């Protein structure tokens, strides 16, 4: 956002203080010289990774406050690999933290939005993913400039806790495209209602179209925008976030070890920046007294290393030492030596119950921020409390406190199948449609457009269950995306009052059981009507294969009985099933294995 929502509430004196107070960081911003009213706006860019920062593409009326606020955003935070903020801001905010199954930081993607008098719709790689049509769209009546920037906000409940060891950070923009709004007479966009006007491939700076912000900032921004931090190189616009000394497109900072977290026979190591693949995957670059390191693998984001560790006792304390690791700069910067205490697991007991916005209460644990050092916690949001009585519960304190604007809730769990109880009470809005949101578990949408008031009225406890969630990677991930955001800041967006996590079935760490059988991936996936389920048995076995829906309910038994050793290809004819996500459960000699599949019709 050009200015965060809270900054509107600052008084003149606070703004004066923010502008005159010394700022230690330097950001960058590019904006068009001329504003436009309505249109289709697209960008192909790769945002910056890192806690506490944002890389954006948006339109904004910089004539405010002479004319009314107009802003439409695509904002990608460095802390979330799979979240895109999609916002309309007028006199009120209408925000969505849109969940994606891909990592936005790994490569260039095309993001965009259509702005018309009737709607604003957002697109990713040409596909519409979200749309707003409510009355606030009619308030977007003033022309706005096309802008891009990179900055580090002061709002850690939005972007995470700032750590300047991640500097420098860079956002890369490949091109920007604009089409005017010409309803009924266009050549692109929804209904061909837009007419292509121009595309800038950033081969060079076009000073007839753009200006670079210089010595510009606002309250809530820790960075001062300077022209040296926006440059054009090799066909890209590069926006830089730096300290106040090493400005511009350069990296003279060695990679820093931020944290390390143990789990079973592995340690996940997080670095401040992208690493050189050779030194980061050299086992001799790492030492853990009391344990041995078998291998080191640089993960896809190039900032995280997975260490396979032997002889590690999870009840003991360990320190990780690194030596001689380079970043990916040219020439590389070398971290001569650094150490960090390894965060060791403290396994939770089930059922896990958390007061998601308050202190410990009876069997409910207190809420906390998610980090490498904890077993559960939330990302983003703020707490609110009401003194009003809550109906339909004997656990009033759980429902009187609420975690608002929550983006994600995470729990470290063994590999298994889980049910989750979301405990909710709408304590602010008293009209249907004022606040609603989607709920995602792992990589799937589980609840669409949940309006708690519609289900239970105001100040009334309402529990909803997500059943049979399969967790493979050791972390149960929940994400929340607003449909109707609400109003204001404190009481807005998706919310939680409490959460329960129940273990339904713990899965074997090695689910393939190669000595007994092998269930290969069902194919094709996704499929249309007929699915093949290949099984390779090493010995005669009793086999049962069921199809489960996302609620964990058995909708079809494919086979029950003995099978001889060898290869078998069983079939599921799904012509009577609806499109959606299903799980194939294979039970052989009382051992279960699950595979997810998607039916598309």
Domain segments of the chain as ranges: 5-243, 257-341, 352-506, 517-599
pLDDT digits (tens, 9 = 90+) for 324-371: 999 999 999 999 999 999 999 999 999 999 999 999 999 999 999 999
pLDDT computed for residue 425 by the predictor: 98
DSSP result, 475-487: EEEEEEEEEE-BS
Cα 1 to Cα 122: distance, rounded to the nearest angstrom:
16
Question: Any idea which of 19-23, 137-141, 444-448, 507-511 has the lowest mean pLDDT?
Answer: 19-23
Q: Which residues contact 347 (CB under 8 A, 6 or more apart)?
A: 375, 412, 414
Confidence bin at 488 (pLDDT 50/70/90): confident
Question: CB count, 10 Å around CB of 85?
Answer: 21
Average of per-residue pLDDT values in the chain:
92
Encode 538-575: b = buried (16+ Cβ within 10 Å), e = exposed.
eeebebbbbbbbbebeeebebbeeebeeeeeebebebe
Q: Which residues contact 458 (CB under 8 A, 6 or more apart)?
A: 426, 427, 428, 429, 430
Give me the residues paired with residue 26 across strands. 224, 242
Choosing among 3.40.50.2300, 3.90.550.10, 2.40.110.10, 2.60.40.3080, the CATH entry for 517-599 is 2.60.40.3080
Question: What percent of the chain stands above pLDDT 70?
Answer: 94
List, in sequence order, the alpha helices (H) in 497-544.
none
Active site residues: 71, 75
* Residue 203 burial class via C-beta count within 10 angstroms: exposed 0-12, middle 13-18, buried 19 and up: exposed
pLDDT computed for residue 588 by the predictor: 84
pLDDT digits (tens, 9 = 90+) for 433-481: 999 999 999 988 999 999 999 999 999 999 999 998 999 899 999 999 9
β-pairing verdict for 498-506 and 416-424: antiparallel
pLDDT computed for residue 1 by the predictor: 47
Are 27 and 215 within 8 A, CB to CB? no
pLDDT digits (tens, 9 = 90+) for 256-285: 999 999 998 999 999 999 999 999 999 999
Q: What is the dihedral of CA 75, 79, 84, 89, to 10 degrees?
A: -40
Mean pLDDT of 10-28: 59
**pLDDT at residue 511 is higher than 90:** no
Choosing among 2.60.120.200, 2.30.42.10, 3.30.70.360, 3.30.70.1890, the CATH entry for 5-243 is 2.60.120.200
**pLDDT at residue 509 is higher than 60:** no
pLDDT computed for residue 17 by the predictor: 46
pLDDT digits (tens, 9 = 90+) for 209-245: 999 999 999 999 999 999 999 999 999 999 999 999 9
Cα 594 to Cα 546: distance, rounded to the nearest angstrom:
10
What does the block give as tokens for 472? 């493979």
Mean pLDDT of 469-495: 93
Mean pLDDT of 411-418: 95
pLDDT computed for residue 517 by the predictor: 64
Are 393 and 461 within 8 A, CB to CB? yes
Are 188 and 62 within 8 A, CB to CB? no
Cα 366 to Cα 372: distance, rounded to the nearest angstrom:
17
pLDDT computed for residue 414 by the predictor: 94
Quick one: which of 283, 276, 374 has its CA closest to 328? 276
β-pairing verdict for 580-588 and 541-548: antiparallel
Cα 255 to Cα 335: distance, rounded to the nearest angstrom:
6
Place of tokens 């309910």: 553
What does the block give as tokens for 215? 């010595």
Ramachandran region of residue 215, left (φ > 0), alpha (ψ -120 to 50) or beta?
left
pLDDT computed for residue 2 by the predictor: 39
Confidence bin at 14 (pLDDT 50/70/90): very low
Q: What is the torsional sign of CA 326, 332, 336, 339?
A: negative
Level-2 CATH architecture, domain 352-506: Sandwich (2.60)
Quick one: which of 331, 266, 330 has its CA closest to 294? 266
Helices and strands: H and E segment counts in the chain: 5, 43
Where does 257-341 sit in CATH, by number?
Answer: 2.60.40.1220
**pLDDT at residue 6 is higher than 50:** no
Question: CB count, 10 Å around CB of 233?
Answer: 10
Place of tokens 């239970």: 456
| Topology agreement, domain 5-243 and domain 257-341 | no
Confidence bin at 587 (pLDDT 50/70/90): confident
pLDDT digits (tens, 9 = 90+) for 244-259: 999 999 999 999 999 9
Quick one: which of 67, 52, 3 has its CA closest to 217? 3
pLDDT computed for residue 528 by the predictor: 78
pLDDT digits (tens, 9 = 90+) for 124-143: 999 999 999 999 999 999 99
Question: Any idea which of 26-35, 310-319, 482-491, 524-533 has the lowest mean pLDDT?
Answer: 524-533
Mean pLDDT of 85-110: 95
């Amino acid at each position: 956002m050009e200015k965060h929502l809270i900054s509107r509430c600052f008084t003149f004196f606070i703004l004066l203080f923010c502008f005159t107070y010394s700022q230690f960081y330097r950001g960058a911003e590019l904006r068009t010289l001329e504003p436009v009213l309505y249109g289709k706006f697209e960008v192909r860019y790769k945002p910056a990774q890192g806690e506490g920062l944002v890389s954006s593409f948006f339109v904004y009326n910089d004539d405010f406050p002479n004319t009314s606020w107009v802003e439409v955003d695509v904002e990608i935070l460095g802390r979330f690999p799979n979240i895109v903020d999609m916002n309309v801001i007028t006199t009120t905010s209408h925000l969505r933290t849109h969940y994606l199954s891909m990592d936005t930081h790994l490569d260039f993607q095309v993001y965009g939005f259509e702005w018309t008098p009737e709607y604003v719709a957002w697109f990713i790689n040409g596909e519409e993913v979200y749309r707003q049509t409510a009355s606030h769209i009619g308030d977007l009546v003033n022309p706005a400039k096309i802008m891009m920037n990179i900055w580090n906000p002061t709002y850690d409940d939005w972007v995470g806790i700032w750590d300047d060891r991640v500097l420098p950070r860079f956002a890369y923009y490949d091109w920007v495209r604009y089409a005017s709004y010409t309803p009924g007479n266009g050549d692109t966009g929804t209904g061909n209602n837009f007419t292509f006007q121009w595309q800038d491939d950033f081969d060079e700076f076009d000073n007839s179209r753009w200006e670079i912000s210089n010595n510009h900032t606002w309250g809530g921004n820790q960075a001062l925008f300077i022209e040296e931090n926006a440059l054009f190189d090799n066909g890209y616009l590069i926006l830089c976030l730096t300290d106040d000394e090493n400005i511009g497109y350069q990296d003279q900072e060695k990679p820093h070890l931020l944290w390390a977290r143990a789990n079973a026979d592995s340690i996940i190591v997080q670095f401040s920046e992208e690493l050189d693949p050779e030194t980061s995957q050299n086992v001799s670059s790492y030492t853990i007294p009391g344990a041995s390191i078998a291998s080191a693998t640089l993960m896809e984001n190039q900032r995280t290393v997975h260490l396979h560790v032997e002889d590690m006792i999870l009840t003991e304390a360990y320190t990780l030492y690194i030596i001689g690791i380079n970043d990916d700069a040219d020439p590389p910067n070398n971290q001569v030596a650094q150490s960090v205490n390894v965060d060791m697991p403290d396994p939770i007991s089930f059922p896990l119950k958390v007061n998601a916005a308050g202190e410990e209460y009876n069997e409910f644990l207190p809420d906390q921020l998610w980090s490498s050092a904890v077993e559960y916690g939330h990302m983003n949001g703020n707490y609110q409390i009401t003194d009003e009585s809550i109906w339909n519960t004997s656990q009033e304190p759980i429902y009187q406190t609420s975690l608002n604007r929550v983006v994600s809730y995470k729990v470290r769990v063994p590999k298994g199948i889980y049910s989750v109880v979301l405990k909710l009470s709408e304590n602010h809005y008293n009209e249907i449609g004022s606040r609603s949101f989607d709920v995602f578990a792992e990589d799937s949408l589980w609840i669409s457009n949940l309006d708690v008031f519609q289900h239970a009225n105001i100040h009334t406890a309402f529990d909803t269950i997500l059943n049979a969630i399969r967790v493979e990677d050791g972390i149960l991930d929940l994400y929340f995306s607003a449909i109707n955001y609400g109003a204001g800041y404190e009481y807005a967006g998706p919310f939680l009052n409490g959460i329960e996590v129940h273990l339904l079935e713990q899965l074997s760490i090695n689910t393939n059981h190669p000595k007994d059988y092998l269930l290969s991936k069902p194919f094709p996936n996704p499929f249309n009507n007929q699915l093949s389920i290949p099984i390779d048995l090493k010995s005669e076995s009793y086999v049962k294969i069921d199809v489960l829906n996302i609620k964990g309910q058995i909708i079809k038994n494919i086979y029950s009985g003995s099978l001889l050793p060898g290869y078998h290809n069983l079939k599921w004819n799904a012509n009577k099933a609806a499109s959606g996500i299903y799980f194939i459960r294979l039970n052989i000699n009382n051992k279960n294995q699950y595979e997810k599949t998607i039916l598309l019709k």
